[in-house]
Structure 1
């Protein structure tokens, strides 16, 4: 079978399974199995797929038809121009999270703390872009193992801590970032199967109203930020006002909501402007 035929068959198979963008996913899967970049596959449409690649492609299509995310099947995701190892132990980094990275890079910083690092995509990107020292925490040993593998692949050496938010974190940082679990418990059933059934639940929802991580981050941020240090957190599109109120109630300044490229509220920023100071109620 040649590439063009395999793509047509794979696209039809995924479409029958109800996959939203079957042609894109079939191309991505076949390219990976043949060792090509997806955007280069068009140059090989008349090539023979080969028995081994065809077998792996068939297995990948079966997994995708069962709604396993493509990034988990191929084991990687591009984020800010770098490849990150992705497994079922970690959240698949979304393109919209690059909004947080862009905001972080808008000002210089020498140290960064990433709370709930998952694959390490945020912390490692910021390290690679700036040379800053980084500390990254997570409550999942499996996630930290993936983040450690990504760090090794990139030649980076952050400090990893198995920790629940700020527990055990020492010192102050110029920048604190987090993409915490923020989906409310009653919203979980409405998620796509790729997310609800395949990604780690603890990285998706804290239960309840989805705001508990922001409560913990707000309570500890001032004690771990350097003077004039910044805090950046990803949020759900309806959570901006609630998260801003939490940050202001704990004495953080210059609190603002930032939209992603689709115009949805995506990041809340704040600054540790006054130092030291008492909490404001």
Structure 2
């Protein structure tokens, strides 16, 4: 049997329906090389692969062709400059969520925010948001008290391991949203489930945990709960920031305003879509706690 060259193996992967980049990353993984070594593949395009590598690469390619996320196959995903370990216990961190992290960091620089703010991440999953905020603040010479919450004990195992590997100081708590949370925070941030239960796009996400994706008929059940529960845990002037679906900004704005939040606004993702919305809890005691 003739051995395949690097070029031939990548061409075979494309016949299975893989994007060229996915094929390159999977081949590098099979070869035991880092994902940023794509230049090596170009320099060694005529190198022949041994049978073990060829078989391993084909098995990986078939998994990807079946729809399994690349991050689950290689076991990691980069998010906000951090390499996070991920598997089927957690959602794969998306670039869109980096918008939420950057907005959080911008708010944490605002006047009135203490040097060591209290931050709560709801539905932390792999720990992506909490760890990205912690790392960014640490890199800027700041500290924070960050609590990351998830209802899934399995997800928290992943998040804790990521925190350990990155040597970042984040506390973790198993809780359904704010049910077991105590204390008050300058910032509450969340990327909750927001896909409608009957959304046809769910078929493409079959390998990821369904409970971390869907939230009732309109996709807003969890967002409603968070907006209702957050005021009891926000310091005066504190912010609640939420990621949501591409078409949900207007409805989330309405929920925030009706609950009594001020300065309700959105931030756009890289595609120019209003992907995150948030509001500020009133700083003065004469403001109503709820509205509507």
Q: Which residue of 1 aligns with 2:6?
A: 3
Q: What CA distance in whole angstroms lies between the structure 1 residues aligned with 2:100 and 2:220?
A: 18
1:126 corresponds to 2:156: no
Q: Which residue of 2 aligns with 1:164?
A: 176
SS in 2 for 1:78: strand
Q: What CA distance in whole angstroms lies between the structure 2 residues aligned with 1:226 and 1:50?
A: 61
How far off its partner does 1:38 sit?
3.5
Q: What CA distance in whole angstroms lies between the structure 1 residues aligned with 2:45 and 2:165?
A: 31
CA deviation map 1:158-181 (0-9, x unaligned): 111110110110111111110000
CA deviation map 1:109-138 (0-9, x unaligned): 522101111111001110111132211111
Q: Which residue of 2 aligns with 1:178?
A: 190
1:114 corresponds to 2:111: no
How far off its partner does 1:259 sit?
1.3
1:137 corresponds to 2:134: no
Q: What CA distance in whole angstroms lies between the structure 1 residues aligned with 2:162 and 2:106?
A: 24
1:41 corresponds to 2:48: no
8 Å contact 1:126–1:132 — kept in the other structure? Answer: no
CA deviation map 1:53-93 (0-9, x unaligned): 33321221121121111111111111011111111111111
> Which of 207, 222, 242 is matched with 2:251 structurally?
242
Q: Which runs of 5+ in 1 are unaligned?
A: none
Over 3 Å counting, the alpha-carbon distance change for 1:11 and 1:252 in structure 2 is same
Q: What CA distance in whole angstroms lies between the structure 1 residues aligned with 2:209 and 2:267?
A: 26
User: Could you state the TM-score of these two structures normalised by the residue count of structure 1?
Assistant: 0.91
8 Å contact 2:188–2:239 — kept in the other structure? Answer: yes
Correspondences of 1:1-281 after superposition (within 5 Å):
1-12=4-15, 14-15=16-17, 19=18, 22-43=19-40, 44-108=44-108, 110-130=117-137, 131-187=143-199, 189-193=200-204, 195=205, 197-276=206-285, 277-281=288-292
Aligned residue pairs, count: 272
Q: What CA distance in whole angstroms lies between the structure 2 residues aligned with 1:52 and 1:125?
A: 37
User: Could you state the TM-score of these two structures normalised by the residue count of structure 2?
Assistant: 0.88
Q: What CA distance in whole angstroms lies between the structure 2 residues aligned with 1:212 and 1:81?
A: 31
CA deviation map 1:4-38 (0-9, x unaligned): 222122222x22xxx5xx21211111112223334
How far off its partner does 1:48 sit?
4.2
How far off its partner does 1:213 sit?
1.0
- Cα RMSD (Å) of the superposition? 1.6
Structure number with bigger Rg: 2
Q: Which residue of 1 aligns with 2:140?
A: none
How far off its partner does 1:192 sit?
4.7
8 Å contact 1:3–1:49 — kept in the other structure? Answer: yes
Q: Which runs of 5+ in 2 are unaligned?
A: 138-142
Q: What CA distance in whole angstroms lies between the structure 2 residues aligned with 1:150 and 1:121?
A: 9
Q: What CA distance in whole angstroms lies between the structure 2 residues aligned with 1:66 and 1:52?
A: 22
